[in-house]
Amino acid sequence: MMYPYMKLPDNTEIVHSELLEGNKVFVHFERPTENGFDSVRFELPSYDRVFWEGNYTEDELKSFVELLRHHAHLIYRYAAEGGVNIA
């Protein structure tokens, strides 16, 4: 299951998985385009890119890793709790 986390100004939506075996969490970035979506997925805690499709630039990908480094503690918390409690 994937849980919503954040939406960026360029309409990139960030979602994350639940806490998985081995203390892993997948974080997926996706933004709509005229022909579908730009998508990239990272694995925490390694920050490895495990999927990439579309037109995200290398600078955007680097900024996503930086965002993950600053937000990993929150993403882990929400992954363990079943997502952000917005209500």
The model's pTM is 0.92
Task: Give me the pLDDT at residue 12, please.
Answer: 96
Q: 3-class SS at 42?
A: strand
Structure tokens at 71: 């937000």
Task: Give me the pLDDT at residue 84, please.
Answer: 75
Query: Could you list the pLDDT tens digit for every one of the 87 residues in the chain?
Result: 899 999 999 999 999 999 999 999 999 999 999 999 999 999 999 999 999 999 999 999 999 999 999 999 999 999 999 887 664
Query: Taking Cα atoms as reference points, which of 11, 30, 8, 14 lies closest to residue 75?
Result: 14
Task: Give me the pLDDT at residue 18, please.
Answer: 95
Task: Give me the pLDDT at residue 86, please.
Answer: 60
